[in-house]
Amino acid sequence: MSGQPIFILKDGSKRTRGRDAQGNNIMAAKAVAEAVRTTLGPKGMDKMLVDSMGDVTITNDGATILKEMDIEHPAAKMIVEVSKTQDEEVGDGTTSAAVVAGELLKKAEDLIDMDIHPTVIASGYRLAASKAVELVQGLAKDVDETNVDLLTSIASTAITGKGAESAKPLLAKISVEAVTSVVDDVNGKKQVDREQINVVKKVGGRIEDSELIKGMIIDKERVHSNMPELVENAKILLLNEAIELKDTEIDAEISITSPDQLQLFLDQEEAMIKATVDKVINSGATVVFVQKGVDDMAQHFLAKAGIFVVRRVKKSDMEKLARATGAALISNFDEISADDLGYAALVEEKKVSGDAMIFVTGCENPKSVSVLLRGGTDHVIDSIETALEDSLRVVGVVIEDKKLVAGGGSPEVELSLRLNEYAATLEGREQLAVRAYAEALEIIPKTLAENAGLDPIDMLMDLRSSHEKGLKTAGLDVFKGEVVDMWKEFVVEPLRVKTQVINAATESAVMILRIDDVIATTKSQGGAPGMDMSGMDPGMGMDMP
């Protein structure tokens, strides 16, 4: 056995090491970043994604694009995770995160070619990221959450370039009103639960027909046509239980030997349902939402009593109704009391594009609200929903953090200049990594300029010049093609968007840089797993003495 290689990997396994592994990983990550780069900014282009079922998605949202792309390369998947994390944490800046991560790796590749060890580059990148977060926090300005105009500007910036330009003022206004309605004060801190904003999409009508409902929209209809279509000053009961006879938990048979006994059985069944319905009627409720089913006989009794009933309501909608109306969720008919009822000024069934929907409006303190989105086609509405989702999240982040920075590539240029100054204070090769990091951040203003059809070098020179003169909020106005003060233009973003981009992009770039060996294993074709040594690349073996 002396000198004979012993193979420890499965047949079909592939192994890439050293510079090849690093090169392949960086190339894959750069390809993903490049795929979304043209979507960045107000003048970014859209992508059409067609899945295996033929369903089409048209979007320029980085997270959506990367989620829908069927990416296989493991390093490329890490860039997808960056964008996904950015979306979950902040809701905006998903494209920026992926583009910055790709550019950091591109700059790192140049340093590796200069024989600088990846560990040194990783160390320098971490130093740069830490300094960048400190610097960008120094650029942030406080915001008053009661300043509706400023919050609307933030929402508009998030919506810009998302395919909903025509309705930007309306969507920004809806976003601010919706978020400010669901703000909670927890231990002296403001918190926004995005789950309490219910977005309902309905094809038909114009985008401008979209509206905010200070209450709930339930995509259901009342259970019986004899029930009232409209109830004013509604007393609302929320039931987790079905209004019908329960099946026994054990198998049982009833032996009936005469028609009289059958009638008695039916009468008893009716009496039991009537008794359950009477408990609902006696509670004083005029509107009942039921999470489960409602028996036909119960529907009849409830309709005769003039009670508005909706069944099969989703659990999430029941919880939002409880929050919006102040009603308690009831699981036991014997425990229903007047104190458990909620209130709404109006509960109404309306037709929207031919479909019946329930509108619960005029709640005293609606801690759950709904947004009804309208549009000509499914693709249009999906595009609007993506834009609205980003603006809702961004406004919520600002209310929670109360910190803003200028947009239009302004923070990136300022950070690039200051990081270059910081690099000069360092000793050793980390200095080169920090300089590379500073250059990588300039990819954001460069890309904004490119996507707007402007000369990126000229624009970058103008930006640097303005910042060197002390105008820290100078950014690129892609519509005028010139450098302007972003604060005066009300182009602003939450601080958390920038800090999350820096942290997430740096961490993923460092993780990919530190990989020098990729082992991809596939299932062996026949034989015991790991035992078939035929056809194995000798490079995958280990020489055992």
The residues carrying an active-site annotation are 61, 94-95, 390
Residue with tokens 């039931």: 239
Distance CA 391, CA 168 (A): 10
Q: Are 24 and 16 in contact (CB under 8 A)?
A: yes
Which letter does DSSP use for residue 76 in this model? H
Q: What are the start-end ranges of the H helices in 114-146?
A: 118-139
In this structure, what are the phi and psi dihedrals at residue 426, rounded to the nearest 5 degrees? -95, 155
Which region, left, alpha or beta, applies to residue 192 given φ > 0 means left and ψ of -120 to 50 means alpha? beta
Q: Are 10 and 522 in contact (CB under 8 A)?
A: yes
| Residues, the chain | 545
Centre a 10 Å sphere on the Cβ of residue 151 and count the other Cβ atoms it contains.
27
Centre a 10 Å sphere on the Cβ of residue 538 and count the other Cβ atoms it contains.
8
- The token pair at 224 is 């019986």
Residue with tokens 């109306």: 325
Distance CA 412, CA 340 (A): 54
Which among 523, 451, 385 has a CA at the least distance from the CA of 36?
451
**CA 98 to mean position of chain CA atoms:** 16
User: What are the counts of helices (DSSP H) followed by strands (DSSP E) for the chain?
Assistant: 16, 23
Which among 160, 172, 167 has a CA at the least distance from the CA of 40?
160
Q: How far is CA 95 from CA 39, 43, 61, 66, 269, in A?
A: 7, 13, 7, 9, 61
Tell me the HSE value of 9 on the side-chain side, using a 13 A CA sphere: 18
Distance CA 445, CA 103 (A): 13
- The residues, any chain, with a CB within 8 Å of residue 451's CB and separated by 6 or more, are 38, 39, 40, 41, 43, 44, 45, 478
Q: What are the residues facing 183 on neighbouring strands?
A: 192
In this structure, what are the phi and psi dihedrals at residue 199, rounded to the nearest 5 degrees? -105, 120
Distance CA 460, CA 327 (A): 57
Strand, helix or coil for residue 290: strand
- The residues, any chain, with a CB within 8 Å of residue 457's CB and separated by 6 or more, are none
Q: Are 280 and 307 in contact (CB under 8 A)?
A: yes
- The token pair at 126 is 């971490």
Distance CA 517, CA 15 (A): 7
